[in-house]
């Protein structure tokens, strides 16, 4: 009987212990309490202090547990199991917070707001609140300490030396001297300051009668104005007053203005009906088109004149083989950036060469009955050029008359138009082969160009090497020299 009672007691104790354990488990475990639960996940950089079954809280109240921790792509993936009665939204946040001094941490959530979609099982919390770690705090403290150290070193270099201490002593000494001088100045001028304040007080006291006088003058002026208005209708001798006369003049002027406005209205009516010259001009579209065409033509002419750029060049070349000087005077008229007209006058020591072809019929028995003579004549005369140029990108093509013969040219512009390669082909008819010249130019000083090249490249017996300088002036440089250039510049302004 005793053994049965003892076994019954042990069995009852086991049952009660199991029931109590289950009750405690139900009370403590958020997985088993509160109904169904759901799992959301998030990614954080540092999961130190977190472990499976760590607490998950909102505003300090447990709402779930950390179900799992995994390493995914170098980040910690946290699977957070939350009670089913706790709603989380898309703007919910997740962070980590220390739970004790032993390094234990817990997950802290904020649920978000109802104006966003609610998170479901398997969704991700994307807003992460990173916790400042002790290592980060130590790094910030180290940066602050380094800054303080740098300031201290700079201060030590500034005032820690003997020279710095001497400078500080001089500054303090100057400050003491300045304050002493200021104090002494105040003591020496104490009477002057007292007299000044006394004068200001007297002026303020004496101003009261003057203010009263000013008010009295204002009263008198207003009374005079009242009397003037009362006497405006008629003077003592029965004549009209000045004010009344002025009003009548204003009335007559207003009537004249009204009459003038009537005439203007009449004229505008005639214009609107198309009567008269001006009316026809406003109503006749053909006449309006003719006037508009004339105006557009004048406008185009004025615009071309204002855009015209004048460039004058003075050039001298030294021919090495012939030991001679060749001179050029160039006038370039440039209406646009991409085209220009060039007039050139050349003093060439070789002169002007002309070729004549003569057919001769003779009865002289000593000569053929029919023969042809070709003669070449060189005269000491100026040559001239007249060419039209058109630019396409870095290339400029030229054609026309070159040194009194037909010719063409091609220029290459480089280095922002400060370096040029110039090719000229001309002299057709002077020799069997045309005359070909190539040279380089470089603007080494503003307006001053250095050039050099080869002339008569196709004919070895007439080939020449030359080196020269050229000055180029624009409208602004030649206002006082060329009257037409100054006029064009004024029109451009």
Kindly report the CATH number assigned to the domain that includes residue 405. Answer: 2.40.128
Task: Record the tokens describing residue 428, joined without a space.
Answer: 């057709």
- Among 110, 132, 154, give the residue marking a domain's end: 132
Q: Is residue 242 part of a domain?
A: no
Count of residues in the chain: 493
Query: What residue numbers bound the domain in which 11 lies?
Result: 1-30
Residues 198-256 pLDDT 10s: 888 777 777 667 777 888 888 888 887 777 666 655 555 555 556 667 777 888 888 88
> How is residue 214 written in tokens?
């000013």
Q: Is the pLDDT of residue 60 over 80?
A: yes
Within this chain, do residues 18 and 43 fall inside the same structural domain, yes or no? Answer: no
One domain for residues 18 and 80: no
Q: Residue 390 pLDDT > 90, yes or no?
A: yes
Residue 413 and residue 316 in one domain: yes
Domain membership flag for residue 21: yes
Per-residue pLDDT, averaged over 36-57, amounts to 88
Residue 448 lies in a domain: yes
Question: What is the pLDDT at residue 279?
Answer: 67
Cβ neighbours of 233 (radius 10 Å):
10
pLDDT grade for 441, boundaries at 50, 70 and 90: very high
Mean pLDDT for all residues in the chain? 80
Residue 220 falls within a domain, yes or no? no
* Same domain (yes/no): 424, 445: yes
pLDDT at 4: 64
Residue 171 lies in a domain: no
Asked if 10 and 48 sit in the same domain, the reply is no
- The answer to whether 387 touches 402, Cβ cutoff 8 Å, is yes
More confident residue, 30 or 150: 150
Same structural domain, 431 and 355:
yes
89 pLDDT higher than 90? yes
Question: What would the two tokens of residue 287 be?
Answer: 């006449």
In a domain, 423, yes or no: yes
Question: Are 13 and 93 in the same domain?
Answer: no
Contact assessment for residue 358 and residue 404, using Cβ atoms and an 8 Å cutoff = no
In a domain, 298, yes or no: no
Q: 18: which 2 tokens?
A: 């199991």
pTM here? Answer: 0.37
Same structural domain for residues 9 and 57? no
Q: CA 124, CA 111: separation in Å to the nearest integer?
A: 13
Is 24's pLDDT higher than 80?
A: no
Q: What confidence tens digit (pLDDT) does each residue in 243-281 have?
A: 667 777 888 888 888 888 888 887 777 777 777 667 666
User: Do 67 and 91 reside in the same domain of the chain?
Assistant: yes
Contacts of 318 (CB under 8 A, 6+ apart): 324, 325, 466, 467, 468
Contact criterion met (CB below 8 Å) for 451 and 467? yes
| 466 occurs within a structural domain | yes
Judge whether residue 134 has pLDDT over 60. Answer: yes
Task: Determine if residue 344 is left, alpha or beta; phi over 0 gives left, psi from -120 to 50 gives alpha, anything else beta.
Answer: beta
Domain closes at, from 132, 155, 175? 132
35, 85 contact by CB (below 8 A)? yes
Q: What is the pLDDT of residue 486?
A: 45
d(CA 346, CA 21) in angstroms, rounded, equals 122
- Is the pLDDT at 316 greater than 80? The verdict is yes
Say if residue 127's pLDDT is above 60: yes
Q: What is the per-residue pLDDT for 275? A: 72
Residues 487 and 424 in one domain: yes
Note whether 9 and 128 are same-domain residues: no
Domain end, chosen from 101, 132, 163, is at: 132
Same domain? For 313 and 380 the reply is yes
Lowest mean pLDDT among 109-118, 182-191, 341-350: 182-191
Write down the pLDDT at residue 32.
Answer: 42
Number of folded domains in the chain?
Answer: 3
């Amino acid at each position: 009987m005793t053994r049965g009672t003892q076994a019954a007691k042990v069995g009852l104790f086991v049952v009660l212990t199991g029931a109590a354990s289950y009750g405690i488990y139900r009370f403590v475990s958020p997985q088993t309490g509160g109904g169904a639960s759901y799992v959301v996940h998030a990614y954080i950089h540092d999961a130190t202090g977190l472990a499976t079954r760590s607490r998950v809280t909102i505003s300090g109240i447990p709402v779930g547990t950390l179900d799992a921790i995994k390493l995914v792509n170098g980040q910690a993936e946290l699977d957070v199991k939350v009670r089913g009665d706790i709603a989380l939204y898309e703007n919910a946040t997740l962070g980590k917070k220390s739970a004790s001094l032993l390094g234990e941490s817990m997950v802290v959530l904020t649920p978000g707001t109802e104006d966003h979609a609610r998170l479901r099982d398997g969704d991700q919390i994307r807003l992460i609140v990173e916790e400042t770690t002790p290592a980060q705090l130590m790094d910030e403290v180290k940066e602050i300490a380094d800054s303080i150290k740098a300031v201290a070193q700079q201060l030590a270099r500034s005032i820690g030396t003997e020279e710095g201490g001497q400078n500080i002593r001089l500054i303090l000494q100057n400050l003491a001297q300045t304050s002493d001088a200021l104090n002494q100045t105040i003591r020496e001028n104490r009477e002057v300051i007292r007299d000044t304040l006394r004068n200001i007080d007297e002026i303020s006291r004496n101003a009261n009668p003057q203010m009263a006088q000013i008010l009295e003058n204002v009263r008198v002026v207003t009374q005079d104005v009242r009397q003037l208005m009362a006497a405006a209708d008629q003077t003592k001798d029965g004549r009209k007053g000045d004010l009344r006369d002025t009003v009548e003049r204003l009335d007559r002027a207003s009537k004249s203005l009204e009459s003038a406005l009537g005439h203007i209205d009449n004229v505008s009516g005639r214009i609107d009906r198309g009567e008269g010259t001006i009316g026809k001009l406003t109503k006749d579209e053909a006449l309006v088109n003719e006037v508009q065409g004339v105006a557009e033509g004048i406008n185009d002419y004025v615009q071309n004149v204002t855009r015209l750029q004048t460039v004058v060049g003075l050039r001298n070349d030294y021919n090495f083989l012939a030991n001679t000087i060749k001179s050029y005077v160039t006038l370039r008229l440039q209406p646009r950036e991409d085209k220009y007209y060039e007039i050139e006058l050349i003093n060439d020591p070789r002169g002007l060469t002309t070729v004549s072809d003569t057919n001769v019929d003779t009865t002289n028995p000593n000569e053929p009955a029919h023969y042809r003579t070709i003669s070449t004549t060189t005269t000491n005369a100026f040559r001239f050029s007249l060419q039209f140029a058109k630019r396409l990108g870095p290339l400029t093509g030229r054609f026309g008359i070159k040194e009194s013969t037909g010719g063409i040219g091609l220029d290459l512009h480089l280095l922002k138009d400060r370096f040029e390669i110039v090719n000229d082909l001309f002299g057709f008819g002077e020799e069997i082969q045309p005359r070909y010249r190539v040279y380089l130019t470089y603007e080494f000083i503003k307006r001053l160009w250095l050039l050099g090249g080869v002339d008569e490249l196709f004919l070895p017996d007439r080939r020449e090497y030359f080196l020269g300088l050229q000055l180029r002036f624009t409208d602004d440089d030649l206002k006082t020299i060329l009257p037409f250039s100054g006029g064009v510049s004024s029109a451009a302004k």
